[in-house]
Amino acid sequence: MTPEILEIIDLKVDFCLQGKINQAVGGVSLFIRDHETVVLAGESGSGKTVTALSITGILPPNALIAQGKILYRGRDLLTLGEDALSRIRGNQIAYIFQEPGAYLNPVLSIGDQLSETIILHQGLTKEAAREEAAELLALVKIRDPKDIIRSYPHQLSGGMNQRVFLAMALACKPRILIADEPTTSLDVTVEAKMLELLMGLKKEIGFALLFITHNLSIAKKIADRIYVMYRGKIVEEGDQDKILTRPEHAHTKELVAAFEKIGKL
């Protein structure tokens, strides 16, 4: 069994809203092994995204990690300074998000946004980074990468933007990719292609994948193991087979039943 590359131990995250403190994540523990695909499933508002953002400390300003450890290859990321953390972000741990249209900067060209990461973490020159950016776009199966490099997010479709985003995340060959509902805003056929591309690249590059979704049929397609999150806590965990066929916790049962009902599982 490969060792854990990332381990979250008893993470608690509070949000300060209008002077009141709300707990968004209440003691989450999970781990990811090298090259593994882990799905973090749960309904919206259950704390999945907050857990994911906590990993490299990119939470909104009104959030506070109250307690816990996040061990990446044995080092606790929560004790690292901003400089050390930013060398890991985007370089060793990368993200892709829901709604690529909103998560890409509307006023910067695709080429700028891609080469920015490459220049930052690999120290390439501007020209070399642009070449590299074009190659990355080819890697995510975008035709005419030279044209796409000059375009802006609003000129591309949702599916294209998500490919660009994936290319951006993979620019530095990360050890872990955190994908937060990356296919939720796409339509079903685009979603299927996107997943296929993602899993293909995972095999090719060899990163560990933390995939966040509310959609158990995706979990069924890709997951090695599944964590089910409910109201800020992990309520159940296990191999895909165990969670989807023999759920134990009431909430997991509910989720599984709901997907069975619409014939998606």
- Residue 175 lies near other proteins (rule: CB under 8 A): no
Stretch that binds other proteins, among 50-58, 73-81, 130-138, 254-262 (CB under 8 A): 50-58
- With beta carbons less than 8 A apart as the criterion, state whether 151 and 142 touch: no
Q: Which listed residue (88, 170, 210, 256) binds other proteins by CB under 8 A?
A: 88
Residues in CB range of 39: below 8 A, 6 or more apart: 211, 212, 213, 218, 219, 222, 223, 225, 226, 227, 240
Compare residues 89 and 163 and give the one whose CB is closer to other proteins.
Answer: 89
Shortest distance, position 134 Cβ to other proteins, whole Å = 18
Specify the 3-state DSSP secondary structure of 191.
helix
Token pair 């709604």: residue: 99
- Residue 103 lies near other proteins (rule: CB under 8 A): yes
Q: Which listed residue (41, 50, 68, 89) binds other proteins by CB under 8 A?
A: 89
Q: Which listed residue (2, 18, 44, 107) binds other proteins by CB under 8 A?
A: 107
Rg (CA), the chain: 18
Look up residue 115 and give its amino acid.
Answer: S
Token pair 């209440």: residue: 26
Chain residues that interact with other proteins, rule: CB under 8 A:
53, 56, 58, 60, 82, 85-91, 94-95, 97, 99, 102-109, 116-117, 120-121, 152, 154-155, 165, 168
